[in-house]
Amino acid sequence: MFDHAYQNYMDHAYPADELMPLTCRGRVRGLEPSRGDVDDALGKFSLTLIDTLDTLVLLNKTTEFEAAVRRVLSDVRLDNDIVVSVFETNIRVLGGLLGGHSMAMMLKDGGQHMQWYQDELLHMAKDLGLRLLPAFNTSSGLPYPRVNLKYGVRGPETRTGTETDTCTACAGTIILEFAALSRFTGDPVFEAHARRALDFLWEKRQRNSNLVGTTINIHSGEWVRRDSGVGAGIDSYYEYLLKAYILLGDDQFLQRFNIHYASIMKYISQPPLLLDVHIHKPLLPARTWMDSLLAFFPGLQVLKGDIRPAIETHEMLYQVTKKHNFLPEAFTTDFRVHWAQHPLRPEFAESTYFLYKATGDPYYLEAGRTILDNLNRFARVPCGFAAMKDVRTGSHEDRMDSFFLAEMFKYLFLLFAETEDLPFDVEGYIFTTEAHLLPLSLSTAPRSSSIPSNRTSEEELDDSNFDWTCPNTRLLFPDPAFPRNLREPIRSAVDKSCPRPAPYREPGMGRPPLRAQDFMANNPEHLELLRRMGVSLIHLKDGRVQLVQHATQAVSAVAAEDGVRFMQEMMELSSQQQKEQLPPRAIQIVSHPFFGRVVLTAGPAQFGTDLSKSFTGVRGFVTVAEPYSGCSEITNADYVQGHIALLQRGQCMFAEKARHIQKAGAIGGIVIDDNEGSSSDTAPLFQMAGDGRNTDDITLPLLFLFHKEGNILLEALKEYREVEVLLSDKARDRGEALILPMVCGSCVSFCTDAPETGGDCQMESSPTDAEADSTQPEEVRDSEKREEPEGDTDSESSQSVDELLADWREDLEAFQQMEKDEL
């Protein structure tokens, strides 16, 4: 297959940059109709040949490699007056030259081949590196996205240098090639520029979510696109942080990667899905589809050592591949085609290779066979392999990108090769994002002291110090049942098929089917019933659950029919619940010392008192219901009566909680999210739905607080014991609505606002306290504190309230800034 692709490029396209396999000719920029940004990879430098150099060596084609190097040295020019992508030229051409140089040195050291070689490819690489350097001449250190190979970025003759934005991956996928160039040549300037760009991106990460956006302004550092994922626009930034640590041994890269990775797994990873989110509101999905470039991520997770999610995401990608023959450029969360093209991308093959190395599971050899078979059946044409224009129809596009030869055949060959098939030990190399091979020995190469380091001093270095930085090639899961058990539910989720009509169920025969209105996601009996009906359940990060039914997984045809009915009922129930989008409500803490200054955003209920029709709202003191879930009869009804009950989300329907506290005499209820860390600043508005039954019997108001806001209320209650709140459709003006009676011992003061804000305060003294002064309320509170057990619990609690409020306000400011930016 490689020979078919490579020989057709050499016969029909060389010295052009790429082969056009349908018309059997070369693609020369300027002679073919422009394809927009895609053409920025083409620089009239025989791109495919340079990109393929180290593949030739890996596939034991040493003679062809030697001939190819001679061709590059004699034919390729790097000083063309042409504008190219800095990112693509770096990973494909500079990376290709460095990979070729690494292979040439390895062969020369072997004593049989390339004995004539005198670092010519390295000299070309340095020449190219110097031509890319002008792009880094920005105040931020982030490179311009494009550069003129002859004239740089300044001046009218460059026809570039006016851009303001670049993608995160474009600026963050430089360090491997530039550091290797510095280590090979001894010139630190390249590594220094690449490190500066990475440092700037790190500084500009969103500090709350620790995520980066997709597009950034190279001058100001402002995020232009604030969506964040692991696919197009960001992918190789994360890849290069981890691989830079492996190649260079600098702990700082690993520390940054680990911080990013934790956030990816917290917000973006919803196994088996990887969904983009907003960096300021990371619990809010930014889109409902995934792009094919994220297929590299399971491979990166293997390098990280996090195998379980790698298996799960890879299995999802494999099932999508089997469904459409290839991974579409983008596909939806229910695995339908979003963008139908497939330019023969290698990322899925890359992850397949890494997972096979980690598990030794022959299942991944079968996945590799699927890739091979589909390439030969659907993409192979007389003059090479053609990209798919539409995976649904099987139509072709007249392109064969250089990465097909640079990456696809490397990973497939390595997947199937035995040790004796390989001409050298690949464990001594790191793969760049273009699969070029850079030797790990570069980590000990001399370099300038001008480059900051977080590593051991040079004189302490020896090979044993670096054993731990290499990927672990031993089998991590010798039991093949482990990955199989992870894959099976994902296979059924992707491979949705309509069940055959099931036989009629006799009334009263067997167990009655589960009804959607009765379903509880945390009821083990219900989950077992779902399993029997072929329904699988996926917990999403924001507390919701996703249900997928696959009839062939049901225990019987009758159970499958019940599953179909259950899914239909659930869809109807969901549509009923979503038909009316209510605005958010407000919970205002009106008691001392808040006096209405703290307003918490609350989610409404689709039942109970409609606060938008109440001028005064509902005002009362809060108390925690027992049981806290509110899912059974309230045991502390004496305390709940006449109060607003606090409840925890979960274990039963919201309407059931409302009925229980209403029966106990509560005047209102507040449900607090059990999903730790959730906040109205970062998550979409939550609306509490009914239970599918008539809810007219519920007459009290019920509001929902996310965990962060709920914690503020709970901490206030812990510290001040009596906390009064106002439930309303919007916050009331403190000046006119909060004429608050403040009861302190035997003295009562009436304030139109908080005393410390200058509001008028009048003191009414009782006969026994005629000499009381304005400090008495504070003294009474102090005496109350002294009655508490020893310890500084109150001061600690007070501090925690302040911290919570400060944290909450900081999040709110970030949220408001994001809203402003979007407007």
Residues in contact with 392: Cβ distance below 8 Å, sequence separation at least 6, in sequence order: 324, 337, 340
At 77, the pLDDT band (50, 70, 90 cuts) reads very high
> In the chain, where does the domain assigned CATH 3.50.30.30 lie?
585-728
Given 40, 329, 397, 434, the catalytic residue: 329
Q: Tell me the DSSP string of 149-161.
A: TTTBSSSGGGS--
**So what's the pLDDT on residue 819?**
54
Q: Which residue has the tokens 């220094």?
A: 192
Query: Which of 351-360, 658-667, 691-700 has the weakest average pLDDT?
Result: 691-700
∠ at Cα 375 (370, 381), nearest 5°? 160
Burial string for 131-149 (b: 16+ CB within 10 Å, else e) reads bbbbbbebebbbbbbbbbb
Three-state DSSP state, 477: coil
For 720, other C-beta atoms within 10 Å of its C-beta total: 19
**So what's the pLDDT on residue 143?**
97
List C-alpha distances in Å: 197 to 138, 191, 520: 10, 10, 50
Are 766 and 780 in contact, with CB atoms under 8 Å apart?
no
What's the whole-number mean pLDDT along residues 758-779?
Answer: 34
pLDDT tens sequence across 140-195: 999 999 999 999 998 899 999 899 999 999 999 999 999 999 999 999 999 999 99
**So what's the pLDDT on residue 760?**
36
What's the whole-number mean pLDDT along residues 690-703?
Answer: 86
Burial string for 494-528 (b: 16+ CB within 10 Å, else e) reads bbeeebeebeebeeeeeeebbebeebbeeeeeebe
**So what's the pLDDT on residue 126?**
98
Residues in contact with 620: Cβ distance below 8 Å, sequence separation at least 6, in sequence order: 642, 643, 644, 667, 668, 724, 725
CA torsion angle 307 309 310 312 (round to 10): 120
**So what's the pLDDT on residue 412?**
98
**So what's the pLDDT on residue 786?**
33
At 541, the pLDDT band (50, 70, 90 cuts) reads low
What's the whole-number mean pLDDT along residues 531-560?
Answer: 77
pLDDT tens sequence across 212-223: 999 999 999 999
From 500, 501, 499, 484, select the one nearest 550 (Cα to Cα).
499
Strand partners, 528: none
Side-chain half-sphere of 335: how many Cα atoms within 13 Å? 24
**So what's the pLDDT on residue 821?**
53
List C-alpha distances in Å: 667 to 80, 640, 645, 660, 664: 78, 9, 8, 12, 9
- Distance of alpha carbon 386 from alpha carbon 383, whole angstroms: 9
Sign of the Cα pseudo-torsion (586, 590, 592, 598, in order): positive
**So what's the pLDDT on residue 820?**
58
**433 marked as binding residue:** yes
Are 76 and 45 in contact, with CB atoms under 8 Å apart?
yes
What's the whole-number mean pLDDT along residues 682-699?
Answer: 79
Q: What is the mean pLDDT of the chain?
A: 83
Whole-model pTM? 0.65
Question: Is residue 793 predicted with pLDDT exceeding 60?
Answer: no
**So what's the pLDDT on residue 765?**
35
From 738, 743, 737, 716, select the one nearest 646 (Cα to Cα).
716
- Distance of alpha carbon 138 from alpha carbon 321, whole angstroms: 42
At 495, the pLDDT band (50, 70, 90 cuts) reads low
Is 40 a known active-site residue?
no
Is 32 a known active-site residue?
no
Q: What are phi and psi of 623, to 5 degrees?
A: -150, 150
Is 250 a known active-site residue?
no
The highest-confidence range among 512-521, 538-547, 614-623, by mean pLDDT, is 614-623
Span 585-728: which CATH code? 3.50.30.30
Question: Is residue 651 predicted with pLDDT exceeding 90?
Answer: no
- Distance of alpha carbon 124 from alpha carbon 75, whole angstroms: 12
Task: Identify the residue with better confidence: 684 or 774.
Answer: 684
Question: Is residue 280 predicted with pLDDT exceeding 90?
Answer: yes
Question: Is residue 456 predicted with pLDDT exceeding 60?
Answer: no
What's the whole-number mean pLDDT along residues 273-289?
Answer: 92
Task: Identify the residue with better confidence: 569 or 82.
Answer: 82
- Distance of alpha carbon 729 from alpha carbon 746, whole angstroms: 34
pLDDT tens sequence across 228-254: 999 999 999 999 999 999 999 999 999
Question: Is residue 465 predicted with pLDDT exceeding 60?
Answer: no
From 743, 274, 248, 637, select the one nearest 490 (Cα to Cα).
274
What's the whole-number mean pLDDT along residues 490-504?
Answer: 53
**So what's the pLDDT on residue 477?**
56
**So what's the pLDDT on residue 52?**
98
At 804, the pLDDT band (50, 70, 90 cuts) reads low
Given 64, 66, 347, 561, the catalytic residue: 347
Given 40, 64, 88, 401, the catalytic residue: 88
Question: Is residue 82 predicted with pLDDT exceeding 50?
Answer: yes
Residue 574, H or E segment:
helix 557-578
Given 17, 66, 227, 235, the catalytic residue: 235
From 97, 43, 110, select the one nearest 69 (Cα to Cα).
97
For 538, other C-beta atoms within 10 Å of its C-beta total: 16
111: left (phi > 0), else alpha (psi -120 to 50), else beta? left
Q: Which residue has the tokens 């190979």?
A: 149
At 417, the pLDDT band (50, 70, 90 cuts) reads very high
Is 329 a known active-site residue?
yes
% the chain with pLDDT above 70: 80
60: left (phi > 0), else alpha (psi -120 to 50), else beta? left
What's the whole-number mean pLDDT along residues 277-297?
Answer: 94
Task: Identify the residue with better confidence: 417 or 392.
Answer: 417
Are 625 and 640 in contact, with CB atoms under 8 Å apart?
yes
Side-chain half-sphere of 803: how many Cα atoms within 13 Å? 8
From 132, 131, 138, select the one nearest 196 (Cα to Cα).
138
For 642, other C-beta atoms within 10 Å of its C-beta total: 12
Residue 210, Cβ density class (10 Å: 0-12 exposed, 13-18 middle, ≥19 buried): buried
pLDDT tens sequence across 469-490: 444 444 555 566 677 778 877 8
Are 679 and 691 in contact, with CB atoms under 8 Å apart?
no
- Distance of alpha carbon 509 from alpha carbon 506, whole angstroms: 5
Question: Is residue 812 predicted with pLDDT exceeding 70?
Answer: no
